[in-house]
Chains A and B, each alone.
Chain A
């Protein structure tokens, strides 16, 4: 009987949305240790219940710090339900020989679809128009600012990984020209490469941020980059809020020193700087660019697949490798 079979233990500090959406199926395969449901503080919970835990499922809301890792002596595998791994202390994992897996590319298409949707929205004022109509302002107010055409715009992709290349492929069909910056030039693409984001910004009208958050990329989109992009420039961010100096971005948006922004991520989610709420050239999204029924199912399958591979000593499906 299934109940008598040994289900491996899986520790979860805060439930990722992918887990919640498929909790029943997870529970059939794994003995879930729900730290978030315990009245005990986390460190006491770990000492009491998690000393023999080998695997942890996490996401951005439940960072896996060096401190946490040191309190889990049996930990051998961390799997995150996200593409991003900036919330995991990879160096400590490496030191301890702990394998790490992420969500691979399961979210890339959906995230890139929203990146394009946000860009069209900013340039063509779709959400602003929807608000305008819902507020009863059509036909009361005749004048309405014109939008701006996509075709011919120069797009600068920051980070030409899986998401960046999906964004590029879509925007080409609208007649945009694509260039990029990345840690390394990609031999597989022929888009023009710029060594750094400043040069990219000088030569583009729009930046789409698709890279990982790391020490190198924190606040990489700073005032200098925004000046280079220019006062009609647009920034789309579906990566991590902290890649942009958000205070500086908001200041420039309010002062008309930058053309607009489409943001799915913020430095201090779910808080959004209130100055942005009054701006019509900004489209705000509550960190959901990855979230579709379909991607959640794919992510669920991938997470389970990785866990099953780990527990049966098989190669992981989407391991993070050093690079």
Chain B
């Protein structure tokens, strides 16, 4: 390693191999990057002060035990369910997230998935590519968006952007959130079951916590009904995936657009026979613009950490 590199502040790159995304080339001119493959990893891991947690790579208590001088985890995602936050708090480790760096792109994608399921866009594309249009001209009718009641689970940054995008489509917006939001004209439901019972589609975009684990369960799916559609751009574990598969296969729910799954990258392949499911490989954030926003935020937070300046999108531990 060039000696100039060794004088740069040390940043630990914490990344599961299956996540292909890399921020290294964006930050290696300003920081010395420490990865497990580094021959100095055993010694340097005992002194490194800041970690860049790439994608939802888990940060558990065991992880934190390996880095006794860690003071800060710079996250690259909006969701933080992969980080043991209580443990970070206990050890006085600060945590930052991606904040709203890609909220718009996730919202756009959620709407795209909703249109796709109701209007069978991907199914139509498959129909044409498989040569079926010339053979058998019939294609099933779609379902109009206008007038549909859309239940948004989690009216945070992403949820409210989704709501605003759906308004000009003539959709009626309902929501459930931890707290009712002032200054919205959308109808608030105090619990997910009532939301589902009064909606034609649910868009799941809340954080995954102990409370929200499997919040979309079989009762919620039954309340949503046979024509109901579920779009998930949150986390796979927000939905009881086994039940969702059963409901979809038995036709007890109308369709689904899924960007996230309980056990990525495993997908419930039994659903591949269905035309009313749109599968997405956890890409709702994946635009060059979002990655540029993330790059800027990560560099900003790493620099701020070393300069003892305030961090952006820092988790407030209550």
Which B-chain residue is minimally distant from A142 (CB atoms)?
B20
- Structural contact, B108 and A150, CB atoms closer than 8 A: yes
- Structural contact, A272 and B116, CB atoms closer than 8 A: no
Task: Encode A167-197 as 1/0 by CB contact (under 8 A) with B.
Answer: 0011011110000000000000000000000
Which of A70-78, A203-211, A290-298, A310-318 lies at the interface?
A: A290-298
- Structural contact, B113 and A126, CB atoms closer than 8 A: yes
- Structural contact, B141 and A109, CB atoms closer than 8 A: no
Q: Which residues of B contact A293 (CB under 8 A)?
A: 141-144
A139, B55: Cα distance in complex, Å? 15
A76, B169: Cα distance in complex, Å? 38
Residue B128 CB within 8 A of the other chain? yes
A53, B144: Cα distance in complex, Å? 35
Residue B122 CB within 8 A of the other chain? yes
- Structural contact, A285 and B112, CB atoms closer than 8 A: no
Q: Which residues of A contact B286 (CB under 8 A)?
A: 124, 144, 146-147
Q: Which residues of B contact A125 (CB under 8 A)?
A: 283
Q: Which residues of A contact B109 (CB under 8 A)?
A: 120, 124, 126
Which B-chain residue is minimally distant from A170 (CB atoms)?
B168
Determine chain B's interface SS by DSSP, over half rule: helix
Q: Which residues of B contact A139 (CB under 8 A)?
A: 18, 264-265
- Structural contact, A272 and B115, CB atoms closer than 8 A: no
- Structural contact, B127 and A129, CB atoms closer than 8 A: no
Contacts A148-B288, A270-B134, A270-B137 known; A126 to B121 CB distance under 8 Å? yes
B102 to chain A, nearest CB (A): 9
Q: Which residues of A contact B281 (CB under 8 A)?
A: 129, 132-133, 138, 144
Interface residues of B in 262-281 (CB under 8 A from A): 264-265, 267, 269, 272, 278-281
B281 to chain A, nearest CB (A): 4
Q: Which residues of B contact A295 (CB under 8 A)?
A: 144
One of A21, A127, A142, A147 near B122 (C-beta < 8 A): A127
- Structural contact, A147 and B119, CB atoms closer than 8 A: no
Q: Which residues of A contact B127 (CB under 8 A)?
A: 286
- Structural contact, B129 and A284, CB atoms closer than 8 A: yes
Contacts A113-B169, A129-B281, A129-B283 known; A149 to B116 CB distance under 8 Å? no
- Structural contact, A146 and B280, CB atoms closer than 8 A: no
- Structural contact, A113 and B119, CB atoms closer than 8 A: yes
- Structural contact, B289 and A288, CB atoms closer than 8 A: no
- Structural contact, A283 and B279, CB atoms closer than 8 A: no
A143, B146: Cα distance in complex, Å? 37
One of A116, A136, A142, A173 near B115 (C-beta < 8 A): A116
A49 to chain B, nearest CB (A): 27
B117 to chain A, nearest CB (A): 10
Contacts A124-B108, A127-B121, A286-B127 known; A134 to B272 CB distance under 8 Å? yes
Contacts A147-B287, A174-B108 known; A286 to B139 CB distance under 8 Å? yes
Which B-chain residue is minimally distant from A283 (CB atoms)?
B125
Task: Encode A246-258 as 1/0 by CB contact (under 8 A) with B.
Answer: 0000000000000
Residue B44 CB within 8 A of the other chain? no
Residue B124 CB within 8 A of the other chain? yes
- Structural contact, B141 and A296, CB atoms closer than 8 A: yes
- Structural contact, B291 and A173, CB atoms closer than 8 A: no
Among the interface residues B126, B142, B164, B279, which one has the most CB atoms of the partner chain A within 10 A? B142
Among the interface residues A113, A148, A295, which one has the most CB atoms of the partner chain B within 10 A? A113
Which A-chain residue is minimally distant from B110 (CB atoms)?
A120
Contacts A109-B144, A117-B115, A139-B18 known; A149 to B290 CB distance under 8 Å? yes
One of A149, A169, A271 near B287 (C-beta < 8 A): A149
Contacts A127-B122, A293-B143, A294-B143 known; A149 to B104 CB distance under 8 Å? yes
- Structural contact, A124 and B287, CB atoms closer than 8 A: yes
Which B-chain residue is minimally distant from A298 (CB atoms)?
B144
One of A116, A142, A285 near B125 (C-beta < 8 A): A285
Residue B87 CB within 8 A of the other chain? no
B277 to chain A, nearest CB (A): 9
- Structural contact, A149 and B108, CB atoms closer than 8 A: yes
Q: Which residues of B contact A269 (CB under 8 A)?
A: 133
Residue B246 CB within 8 A of the other chain? no
- Structural contact, B121 and A114, CB atoms closer than 8 A: yes
Q: Which residues of A contact B180 (CB under 8 A)?
A: none
Task: Encode A261-283 as 1/0 by CB contact (under 8 A) with B.
Answer: 00000000111100001000001
One of B18, B129, B141 near A291 (C-beta < 8 A): B141
One of B104, B168, B272, B287 near A148 (C-beta < 8 A): B287
Residue B105 CB within 8 A of the other chain? yes
A241 to chain B, nearest CB (A): 13
- Structural contact, B265 and A138, CB atoms closer than 8 A: yes
A130, B90: Cα distance in complex, Å? 42
A124 to chain B, nearest CB (A): 6
A266 to chain B, nearest CB (A): 9
- Structural contact, A146 and B287, CB atoms closer than 8 A: yes
One of B168, B279, B287 near A172 (C-beta < 8 A): B168
Task: Encode B27-62 as 1/0 by CB contact (under 8 A) with A.
Answer: 000000000000000000000000000000000000
A287 to chain B, nearest CB (A): 8
Residue A118 CB within 8 A of the other chain? yes
Contacts A114-B115, A133-B280 known; A151 to B124 CB distance under 8 Å? no
- Structural contact, B278 and A130, CB atoms closer than 8 A: yes
A286, B126: Cα distance in complex, Å? 10
Contacts A129-B280, A270-B134, A285-B124 known; A174 to B165 CB distance under 8 Å? yes
Task: Encode A19-46 as 1/0 by CB contact (under 8 A) with B.
Answer: 0010000000000000000000000000
- Structural contact, B128 and A286, CB atoms closer than 8 A: yes
Residue contacts A-B, CB under 8 angstroms, 5 given: A146-B291, A170-B168, A285-B121, A285-B128, A288-B120
- With A113-B146, A124-B287 given, can you name 10 additional A-B contacts, CB distance below 8 Å? A116-B115, A127-B122, A127-B125, A138-B267, A144-B281, A146-B288, A170-B165, A173-B164, A174-B165, A286-B124
